Amino acid sequence: MDNIKNFNFWLEAILKDYAREPFCFLRELAQNSRDADASIITVQAGRTANQKEFIVFSDNGCGMTLSHAQRYLFRLYASSKENDPQAAGKFGIGFWSILKFKPLAFRIESLPETGGKGWAVIGDQNLNFQETEHSLQHPGTRITLLREPSFQSAEEFCKKVATNLVKYCRFLKKKTNLNEPLPILFNNNLINQEIELQNKTKIKFKFPDLEGTVSLGSEPEVTIYGQGLFVWKGNSLNELLDRATISNRALHLIPAQYPVYLLNSAKLDLQISRKAPIDNRHLQKIKKIADRMWHRLLKSSLNNAFEFSVFQKIKNQLISGFYKMKKAGIIQLILLLLLLIPVEIYILKKIQPSGESKSEQKSSSTQKTLPEKAVFTAL
């Protein structure tokens, strides 16, 4: 009994971080499916015959044994993914976010791909559990949630689930291939999307660990995904950094045009609440790349907004190159070399006369000895 009280105490403390995100469990379940090497996720939502709202979340991943679930899935802060660099979840708390749905009952069933038999467990709102038979035909995991209706109609409920699935999981990638989307079907409709912004003026970019889009908008906005799962949304990347070193002084060069970022990183380290990334070298690298893309877009927009002559374009390029070289320290190096050249010339001039005097002395001595030899020869 005391163990249940302690569990409930810590569970309530954790779920406070998700207070404003009642459907965040969709992200956590999708994360678990991805980490289980699933190649497809299916989600069903609606109302039962007795008007209860339900969500069924299924995947075709590797599944798990009951002992594995008891050791990791059902325990707080216990994770089997700590040593897996490709895993999206490593804190061992995401599964219990299903309680934000306030289910009357939930059913968990899994069929391991290798090394174990299938199983199923039914739990209630008081966290009482009972083992039962599973109904899976293929390896994978299925989670079913059931609750009292919170929306006026089944259509409104399904629309809310679909909206949150798109918000949290639309860019989800496969664990085995970060460039390949992990298909998510909601009520038989694919919800995956490309990383794209609707604005006409934009730049898309893709690096090994980062992809995204930057565009111009009437309000500044930054949306960050980690391995295709929603993490954070704000007005500026500076909000995430302890030391905001780069200012947004270019924001007002074009009236009513601000940077809008949509970013997805494959190596984003997250806080335990998964609500924000950790300020480290990788996050600072993301900001530098995003700022570089923004300034490139800003420069392109300015060139399109104003017609410059060829001479002015060349001049702008030279000035831009000068400041880039100055920032990289190349200008200082060139100035140092220019200062060293006169010193080298002075040293060479000092050395050259002494060398000439020795050659002149040698030639004069040979000229003096030649008559003497001639005299001795004549004698």
DSSP tag of 369:
H
Angstrom distance (rounded) from CA 43 to CA 144: 10
Q: Same structural domain for residues 142 and 101?
A: yes
Angstrom distance (rounded) from CA 19 to CA 11: 12
Helix/strand/coil for 184: strand
Is residue 177 included in any domain, yes or no?
yes
Q: What is the mean pLDDT of residues 286-305?
A: 82
Do 88 and 31 contact (CB within 8 A), yes or no? Answer: yes
Name the residue among 234, 250, 239, 241 with its Cα closest to residue 291.
250
Is residue 376 included in any domain, yes or no?
no
Structure tokens at 196: 């794209």
Angstrom distance (rounded) from CA 270 to CA 268: 6
Q: Same structural domain for residues 241 and 141?
A: no
Structural domain including 337 reads 315-344
Q: Same structural domain for residues 91 and 174?
A: yes
Q: Same structural domain for residues 16 and 152?
A: yes
Mean pLDDT of the chain: 79
Cα dist. 206→60, 283, 289, 317, 324 in Å?
Answer: 29, 16, 10, 25, 23
Q: What is the pLDDT of residue 353?
A: 55
Do 262 and 167 contact (CB within 8 A), yes or no? Answer: no
Is residue 102 included in any domain, yes or no?
yes
Is residue 196 included in any domain, yes or no?
no
Q: What is the pLDDT of residue 223?
A: 94
Q: Same structural domain for residues 112 and 256?
A: no
CB atoms within 10 A of CB 285: 15
Q: What is the mean pLDDT of residues 60-88?
A: 70
Q: Same structural domain for residues 18 and 144?
A: yes
Helix/strand/coil for 95: helix
pTM above 0.75, yes or no: no
Angstrom distance (rounded) from CA 364 to CA 366: 5
Domain boundary among 190, 217, 241: 190
Q: Same structural domain for residues 302 and 319?
A: no
Domain boundary among 158, 190, 222: 190
Q: Same structural domain for residues 322 and 229?
A: no
User: Is the per-residue pLDDT at 255 higher than 70?
Assistant: no
Q: Name the one residue in this structure whose structure tokens are 């950790």.
A: 278
The CA dihedral of 277, 279, 284, 285, to the nearest 10 degrees, is: -50
Q: What is the pLDDT of residue 310?
A: 65
Residue 144: pLDDT band with limits 50, 70, 90: very high
User: Is the per-residue pLDDT at 359 higher than 70?
Assistant: no
Is residue 360 included in any domain, yes or no?
no
Q: Same structural domain for residues 156 and 281?
A: no
> What is the amino acid identity at position 354?
S
CATH number at residue 75: 3.30.565.10
Q: Same structural domain for residues 247 and 264?
A: yes
Do 270 and 226 contact (CB within 8 A), yes or no? Answer: yes
Q: What is the mean pLDDT of residues 164-172?
A: 96
Phi-psi region of 92 (alpha: psi -120 to 50; beta: other; left: phi over 0): left
Is residue 325 included in any domain, yes or no?
yes
CATH number at residue 288: 3.30.230.10
User: Is the per-residue pLDDT at 373 higher than 60?
Assistant: no
Domain boundary among 156, 190, 224: 190
Q: What is the pLDDT of residue 177?
A: 85
Angstrom distance (rounded) from CA 131 to CA 208: 45
Is residue 350 included in any domain, yes or no?
no
Query: How many domains does the chain contain in total?
Result: 3
Q: Indicate the range of 154-168, 268-282, 304-318 predicted with least confidence.
A: 304-318
Within 170-309, residue ranges assigned H as helices are: 281-305
Q: Same structural domain for residues 19 and 156?
A: yes
Q: Same structural domain for residues 236 and 150?
A: no
Q: Are strands 53-59 and 41-47 parallel, antiparallel or unpaired?
A: antiparallel
As a three-state string, the secondary structure of 125-136 is CCCCEEEECCCC
Is residue 179 included in any domain, yes or no?
yes
Residue 374: pLDDT band with limits 50, 70, 90: very low
Q: Are strands 258-265 and 221-226 parallel, antiparallel or unpaired?
A: parallel
Angstrom distance (rounded) from CA 323 to CA 77: 50
Structure tokens at 47: 């109302």
